[in-house]
Structures are given as C-alpha cells and as structure tokens.
Amino acid sequence: MTIALVYGGRSTEHEVSIASALTVHRALKQAGYRVLLIAIALDGRWYLQPNLLSKSIDATIPIHAVPGLGLYVQDAKLDIDAVFATTHGYGGEDGNLQGLCMLCRLPLCGCDTVSSALGMHKHLASELFMQALIPTVPTLLLDKNAVQQVEYTTLLERARSTLGPDLFVKPENSGSSVGVSALKDCDAKALQQAVELARRYSERVLIQLLIHPLQELETAVLETRDKGLVVAGPGLVIDPAKETVGFLSYEHKYGKVDTAHIRIPSGLDDTTETIIKNYARKAFLAIKGDGYARIDFFVSENRIYLNEINTSPGLTDTSHYPALLASVGYDLSSVCKHLVENALLRNAQEKLRIYTPPGY
C-alpha cells in the first residue's frame, strides 16, 4: 500500500511541517507502507521528491491535480492509496488541502474539509464548544471591518470592561504562537501594536483574557477501529525557560534550546483529569473531527478553559501529541496505521453515497 506523505506548504509553519514529515516518514515505513514524498514549496507548488527528505525542496518534478481522478506527473497518474499530510497553517490545515484531496477522490488521514476549517478558525470552533457547554477563554472578536475602523482607546476600554486589564491578542486563524502578544495592564498604543501584528497573519483578530497564573494541559485524541475514540492525557506542559507571559513562543515550542516538553501524568487530581478528557472528547465531536487532533486546555484557580483544538498537530520527535499517545500504548507507527485505516474506511463509505440526480 502506498501512502503519499505531503509536507511543506505556503505557511509560516513550513519548517515545522518538514520536521513532522521526517518523523512520520519513519513511522509509516515501520508500519510497512510504501511512502511517496510530495513537497509543497513556499510558493504553493507541489513537487514529487527523491527518496530522502530534506529541508530543501527538489523542484524538478511538478505534480498537478485532476479533480475526480487524482494526482499526476505529466500524463502519468500517481499510484496513491491514501494521503497523510503533515502540513500546518494556511492552505494545509484550514480545509483547502483537505478539499483538494476530496475532489481528487484521495483518502485522507485525519480531519476533513469542514472540521479542518473549524479547527483553524478559532472563533468558529469556540462558538461550537460553548454550544456543547465546554468552558472557553473569554474573547472579543475583531472581524475584518472592525479591525479597519477601530479606535484603540475605545477598544481598550471595551476590552478592559469585558475581559479585564490583562489581555492576550492573537490571529484568529494561525498557529504555533505566531503573531501573538501578551499584554499586562497595557495602554492603547500597545494594544494597537498587538492587533497590527496579529493582522499580518489573519484578517480577523482575537482579544482574550490573559489567564495567569495558569497550567497548560494538552490531550491527544485518536480515532481507532477497535476502541473507538481514545483520549490520552492530559499532560502538563513544562516550560524550562519559565516564561511568565502566558504563552509558549514559537522558539520554545520548536527550538533546539529550552524547548517545552510535556509531563505525563500531569499531577492533577483524578477528577480534574477526567473532566478535561470528557471536554476533549466533546470538543472533537463538536467540530465533527475525524482521525486525530490535539486539544489544549488552561487550568487556573480550579477553573478549566478549553484553549483551542489543533486538527493537524505537530508530529516531530519532540512534539507532544506522539508522547501523549505513547503514554497509553500507541507508538507513532500504530497511530499511523489507525489513521490510514480510518481514511480508507471513510473513503469506502463516501463511495456508497449517491450524488447523482434520479434517472442518471
């Protein structure tokens, strides 16, 4: 069986995607699959790659998609049984790549178009979580029009009265702590700078309550054929740099020095862990998740907040999702097997649906 491993992308998380692909490539091989490497360059073009992954993309063999048929190199169709994408962020995690796979009738490991889009757009996901009675971080949304017309002194007064003096500003549809700012008792100028930074990565901006002190917890969800929905964790995120600004920076998530790691078990009491697991399960179902996801929480002063869901979590050697699943007996090769099986099953079910008008 041949799995197309798709990585890279026109995204701020391009390098993280490549690092994840290196780990997944090894796991897929260990699981017994033949792996076809497909890299998405920073300009968005797709290329077939040599056998070895590297940070530099070989742009000599372009790939084109034919809806209804599959992926091609010139006139030759690529033999692909399923797609495993380690793409993150814009174009690769937001439903675009997932929609392309659906149009090309390629089974895809992980979430589909709708759940990927919901997971990427944090405010939309948050609305669903609240409907499912899952507590979320108090938030103000600045949509495209509001951002363009905002008066920052008025906005600061509104944010302080609604959320409090300490604020957290982030893009509405980005990840890996890119474009975020933590503001303690800020003035209007600092808020403006934070919003403008977030706007570089997203048309819509979220202003949230900056929760501190806090413990950051993560859970891993995996859809399996034999045990149904497995929820691993929660694990406690440990930051060796001891940052106190309320979030982990990109460097402390993926850098080589003082990288954050996860402690399993978390050290929380059993009741709190059970509540977090139940919230994770409900959140995954709320966005109609498929395959896998990482779901992150904050705990502060005995209150639990769902922070966000990640439908394409990092899968590097230091990523937390694989560590969480390993703690309950699933190494990455077995995770990959479950994801491939789930993708093939979903594709088989899709083929049984009727999409043609009566009489055709």
Which CATH number is correct for 139-209, 3.40.50.10490, 3.30.1490.20, 3.30.565.60, 3.20.20.70?
3.30.1490.20
176 catalytically annotated: yes
What's the confidence (pLDDT) of residue 178? 84
More confident residue, 305 or 351: 305
Q: What is the structure's pLDDT at 176?
A: 59
Task: State what percent of residues in the chain have pLDDT above 90.
Answer: 81
Report whether pLDDT(15) > 50.
Answer: yes
pLDDT band at 245 (very low <50, low <70, confident <90, very high): very low
Q: Which amino acid is at 179?
A: G
What's the length of the chain? 360
Class of the CATH domain delimited by 2-108:
alpha beta
Binding site for Mg(2+), by residue number, is: 296, 308, 310
Q: Average pLDDT, stretch 61-74?
A: 97
Mean pLDDT of 241-253: 51
46 neighbors 8 (Cβ within 8 angstroms): no
Per-residue pLDDT for 188 more than 80?
yes
3-state secondary structure 289-312: CCCEEEEEEEEECCEEEEEEEECC
Q: What mean pLDDT comes out for the span 148-152? A: 85
What is the per-residue pLDDT for 355?
77
- Identify the active-site residue in 176, 181, 202, 266: 176
Which residues neighbour 347 within 8 Å (Cβ) at sequence distance 6 or greater?
Answer: 82, 105, 107
Highest mean pLDDT among 196-205, 250-259, 330-339: 330-339
In contact, 339 and 110? CB cutoff 8 Å = yes
Q: Is the peptide bond before 357 cis (omega within 30 degrees of 0)?
A: no
What's the pLDDT score for residue 247?
52
Active-site residue flag, 177: no
**Topology of the domain covering 118-134+212-329:** D-amino Acid Aminotransferase; Chain A, domain 1 (3.30.470)
* pLDDT over 50 at 169, yes or no: yes
Per-residue pLDDT, 256: 52
Q: Which token pair is 37?
A: 């490497």
Rg, Å, the chain Cα set: 21
Dist CA 65 CA 72 (whole Å): 6
Give yes or no for a cis peptide into 135 (omega within 30° of 0).
no
pLDDT on residue 241: 63
Would you say 7 and 46 are in contact if contact means Cβ atoms under 8 Å apart?
no
Dist CA 26 CA 331 (whole Å): 12
User: Average pLDDT for residues 80-109, to the nearest whole number?
Assistant: 96
In angstroms, the CA 164 to CA 159 distance is 7
Please tell me the predicted confidence (pLDDT) of residue 33: 99
Judging by beta carbons within 10 Å of its beta carbon (0-12, 13-18, 19+), is residue 240 exposed, middle or buried?
exposed
Structural domain spans, the chain? 2-108, 118-134+212-329, 139-209
Beta-carbon contacts of 162 under 8 Å, excluding residues fewer than 6 positions away, are 138, 140
pLDDT value at position 53? 78
13 is catalytic: yes
